[in-house]
C-alpha cells in the first residue's frame, strides 16, 4: 500500500474485461470504492452464481455496476460495453500451465481477444486510455533467460524471446498479446496504452471458486502432492490487491506510461512452504526439503506433465531478479508483505474445500477465511472511503487526479 491517496474524476464510466477474473474482482472493488460506474464485461451476465461476489461489492460500495455480455473471440462484442467509457481495463486472458491445445486454449484468446478489444477502442471516441493486464511472462520465458538480461536483472525494456507453442505456451501467449497491443497503439494518437506486468499473483480471491493458476501452486503445497519435496524454483510474487491498485493508478495517473514490472518479493517454493508451516504447523503436509535438480529432471515428467525436462533444465536452480522501481516511482506503489497474503489464500482454499481439511494440531480448529471475510477484512484494514484512501500509521497525502487524460 502507498502512503499517498488519490482523488479520481469518476464522471465517466470505465470498462473491465474478464470481470469475473481473479485480478478483475479486486480491481472492480477498488473502482466501486472510488465511486466509479463500472461496465463489467462477462461471458454470461445471467449467471447469478458466478456474478454473486460482484453483486455483493455493488451492494456494499458507492459505485455502480453494469454487466455486459462479451466474448474474447467474437468481433465487436465489447463495443456496446465500451460506450461512453474513458478508460478500458483489459484483464481478460486465460492463465493455465497445462492445456490440450496451446494455440486454441491460450494464444487465440490472448492475441485475438486483445485485437478484438482494441478494435472496439478504435471505434469508441470517448476512450482515452487502455490498461493491459500483461505479465512478467512477457518479459522472460525461463528463469535461465534472466542471466542474459542487462546486468542479469529484468527491466521493462526486456522481452521474452524464448517461449513458443511447445515450450512455455502461456508465456508465449502473453508476449504475443502485449506486442500486438503496442503495435496497434502505435498506429494512432488518440488513446494511450499502459501495461501492468505482474509476477506470480497471490492472495485471497473475492469469488468462491478461483481459477487462477497460482491457486493450483498453493494447493499442491498443502494437499500432499509435493510432500516429498519441491524443486529449487523461485519467482517474483505480488499481492493481488497491489496488482489491482497498480491497474487503477495506471488508468488515471498522468505520469503512467509504458510497461510496469509489478512484484513485491522473490519467494521460492520452499519459502512458501515454510511460511505456511510457520502459521499452520503440521496440520497439512507442507514439503520440508528441496529436491535435487537431477532427480526432478529424471522423474518430473513422469509425475507432472508440466515438469518436462526443458522446463526443469531452464527454470530450476536459477535466481530470479527484476527491477520494480518504475512501479514504485510512477505508480507510487508501496508493496504489501507476502506472508499474510499467502496465509489468507490458503485459508480461503481450505474453506472452499480446495484443500483437504488439516489433520494435525490446529487443523480442525482453524477458522478459515471465506470470500466475504476477505472482502470485509480488506475494508477494515485499508479504511477505504469513497474517493479517498486512508493509510494507517501515516497522515494521508491526497493527490487530485485530473479528469482529462491526454493521449501522448
Q: How many helices (H) and strands (E) does the chain have?
A: 14, 14
Q: Tell me how many degrees the CA angle 282-204-85 measures, rounded to the nearest 5.
A: 170
Q: Are 201 and 23 in contact (CB under 8 A)?
A: yes
Distances (CA, A) of 235 to 91, 152, 167, 274: 21, 14, 18, 16
Distances (CA, A) of 335 to 50, 97, 153, 218, 392: 30, 26, 19, 21, 14
Q: Could you write out the DSSP letters of every residue in 11-41? A: SS-EEEESTTSHHHHHHHHHHHHHT-EEEEE
Closest CA relative to residue 52, chosen from 219, 39, 60: 60
In this structure, the strands spanning 234-239 and 258-262 are unpaired
Distances (CA, A) of 223 to 63, 83, 319, 367: 39, 46, 27, 18
Query: H or E stretch including 328?
Result: helix 325-330
Q: Are 54 and 26 in contact (CB under 8 A)?
A: no
**List 4, 50, 74, 174, catalytic entry:** 174
3-state secondary structure of 407: coil
> Counting every residue, how long is the chain?
408
- C-alpha grid cell for residue 155? 527491466
- C-alpha grid cell for residue 269? 517454493
- C-alpha grid cell for residue 126? 470517448
Closest CA relative to residue 186, chosen from 124, 122, 252: 122
Residue 227 designated active-site: no
Between CA 247 and CA 343 the distance in angstroms is: 24
Catalytic residue annotation:
174
Amino acid at each position: 500500500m502507498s502512503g499517498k491517496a488519490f482523488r479520481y474524476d469518476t464522471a465517466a464510466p470505465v470498462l473491465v474485461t474478464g470481470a469475473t477474473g481473479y485480478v478483475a474482482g479486486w480491481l472492480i472493488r477498488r473502482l466501486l470504492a472510488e465511486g466509479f460506474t463500472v461496465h463489467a464485461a462477462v461471458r454470461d451476465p445471467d449467471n447469478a452464481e458466478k456474478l454473486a461476489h460482484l453483486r455483493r461489492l455493488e451492494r456494499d460500495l458507492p459505485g455502480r455496476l453494469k454487466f455486459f455480455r462479451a466474448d474474447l473471440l467474437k468481433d465487436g462484442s465489447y463495443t456496446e460495453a465500451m460506450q461512453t467509457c474513458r478508460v478500458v481495463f483489459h484483464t481478460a486472458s486465460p492463465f493455465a500451465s497445462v492445456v490440450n491445445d496451446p494455440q486454441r486454449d491460450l494464444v487465440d484468446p490472448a492475441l485475438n481477444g486483445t485485437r478484438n478489444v482494441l478494435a472496439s477502442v478504435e471505434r469508441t471516441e470517448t476512450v482515452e486510455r487502455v490498461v493491459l493486464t500483461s505479465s512478467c511472462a512477457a518479459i522472460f520465458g525461463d528463469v535461465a533467460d534472466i542471466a542474459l538480461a542487462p546486468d542479469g536483472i529484468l527491466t521493462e525494456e526486456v522481452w521474452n524471446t524464448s517461449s513458443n507453442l511447445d515450450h512455455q505456451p502461456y508465456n508465449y501467449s502473453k508476449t504475443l498479446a502485449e506486442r500486438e497491443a503496442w503495435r496497434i497503439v502505435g498506429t494512432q494518437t488518440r488513446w494511450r496504452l499502459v501495461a501492468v506486468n505482474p509476477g506470480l499473483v497471490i492472495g485471497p480471491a473475492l469469488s468462491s471458486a478461483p481459477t487462477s493458476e497460482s491457486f493450483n501452486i498453493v494447493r499442491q503445497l498443502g494437499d500432499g502432492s509435493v510432500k516429498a519435496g519441491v524443486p529449487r524454483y523461485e519467482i517474483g510474487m505480488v499481492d493481488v490487491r497491489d496488482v489491482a491498485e497498480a491497474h487503477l493508478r495506471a488508468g488515471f495517473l498522468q505520469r503512467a506510461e509504458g510497461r510496469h514490472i509489478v512484484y513485491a518479493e522473490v519467494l521460492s517454493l520452499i519459502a512458501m512452504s515454510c511460511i505456511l508451516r510457520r502459521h499452520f504447523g503440521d496440520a497439512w503436509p507442507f514439503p520440508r526439503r528441496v529436491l535435487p535438480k537431477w532427480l526432478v529432471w529424471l522423474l518430473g515428467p513422469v509425475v507432472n506433465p508440466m515438469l518436462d525436462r526443458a522446463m526443469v533444465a531452464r527454470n530450476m536452480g536459477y535466481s530470479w531478479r527484476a527491477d520494480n522501481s518504475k512501479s514504485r516511482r510512477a505508480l507510487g506503489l508501496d508493496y504489501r508483505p507476502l506472508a499474510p497474503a499467502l496465509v489468507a489464500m490458503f485459508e480461503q482454499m481450505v474453506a472452499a474445500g480446495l484443500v483437504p481439511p488439516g489433520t494435525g494440531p490446529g487443523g480442525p480448529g482453524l477458522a478459515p477465511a471465506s470470500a466475504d471475510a476477505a472482502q470485509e477484512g480488506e475494508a477494515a484494514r485499508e479504511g477505504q472511503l469513497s474517493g479517498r484512501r486512508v493509510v494507517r500509521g501515516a497522515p494521508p497525502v491526497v493527490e487530485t487526479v485530473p479528469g482529462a487524460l491526454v493521449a501522448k
